[in-house]
C-alpha cells in the first residue's frame, strides 16, 4: 500500500482522537506537559493496537471474500467516514466536570476513538497489506496530533472540533472510493 494512502488513513483515523484531545485541552485550567503526553500515549497506543487486532481477525476471513475485498474495504471505510461525518454534526458539548486525563477515563476514550482503527485493520487484511508499517504510521500520527490537540484545545477551545471530525470522515470515504475505483478500473 502506498505511503501517501497510509498517511491519509492515519490522519483520518486520528481525527477522532484529535477532536477529543482538543476538547480535553479546553477543559484544563492549567496545562501540564505530562497530561498531553499521557493522552497522546493512550491514543497513539490504542490506534496502533486496534488495527493489529482487526488485521488478525481479517486474516481468518480473507479467504472467504477475496473476490469482493475491494467492496468490503470501500464499505468499511465509507461507513467509518460516514459515521464520522454524522458525528461532526451531532457532537455535544463536553462537560468540564469529568477529568479526561485520569487513566480510567483515558482508557475509555482511547478505546472509543480507536474502534474505527479495528475496522481499518480488517480492511488491511482483506487487501493483504503488511500491518507493521501502517500501524507505526497510524500510531505516530495519532500521538503527534493528540499531543498537539491538547495544546490547541487549551488555546482555541471547541472552535474547530466539528470541522476536524468532518474532515476525517471525508478523507476515509475518499480513500475507500480510491481503493474501489482502482480495483474496478484494473479489471
pLDDT tens for each residue of 4-36 = 999 999 998 998 888 888 878 877 778 889 999
Residue 165's pLDDT is 67
136 has a pLDDT exceeding 80: yes
Nearest Cα residue to 103 out of 167, 39, 148: 39
Residue 161's pLDDT is 60
167 has a pLDDT exceeding 90: no
Residue 29's pLDDT is 75
H or E, element range at 183? helix 161-186
How many domains does one find in the chain? 1
Q: Are 79 and 12 in contact (CB under 8 A)?
A: no
Domain containing 139 equals 3-186
Model confidence, pTM: 0.73
Q: Distance between CA 70 and CA 82 in Å, rounded?
A: 18
Nearest Cα residue to 117 out of 99, 100, 147, 139: 139
Amino acid at each position: 500500500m502506498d505511503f501517501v494512502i497510509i498517511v491519509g488513513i492515519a490522519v483520518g483515523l486520528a481525527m477522532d482522537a484529535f477532536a477529543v484531545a482538543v476538547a480535553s485541552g479546553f477543559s484544563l485550567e492549567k496545562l501540564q506537559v505530562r497530561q498531553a503526553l499521557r493522552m497522546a500515549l493512550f491514543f497513539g497506543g490504542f490506534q496502533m493496537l486496534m488495527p493489529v487486532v482487526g488485521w488478525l481477525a481479517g486474516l481468518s476471513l480473507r479467504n472467504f471474500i477475496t473476490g469482493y475485498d475491494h467492496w468490503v474495504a470501500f464499505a468499511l471505510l465509507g461507513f467509518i467516514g460516514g459515521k464520522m461525518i454524522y458525528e461532526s454534526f451531532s457532537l455535544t458539548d463536553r462537560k468540564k466536570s469529568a477529568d479526561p486525563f485520569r487513566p480510567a477515563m483515558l482508557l475509555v476514550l482511547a478505546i472509543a476513538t480507536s474502534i474505527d482503527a479495528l475496522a481499518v485493520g480488517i480492511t488491511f487484511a482483506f487487501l493483504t497489506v503488511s500491518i507493521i508499517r501502517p500501524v507505526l504510521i497510524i500510531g505516530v500520527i495519532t500521538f503527534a496530533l493528540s499531543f498537539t490537540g491538547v495544546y490547541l484545545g487549551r488555546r482555541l477551545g471547541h472552535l474547530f472540533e466539528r470541522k476536524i471530525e468532518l474532515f476525517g470522515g471525508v478523507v476515509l470515504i475518499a480513500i475507500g472510493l480510491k481503493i474501489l475505483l482502482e480495483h474496478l478500473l484494473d479489471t
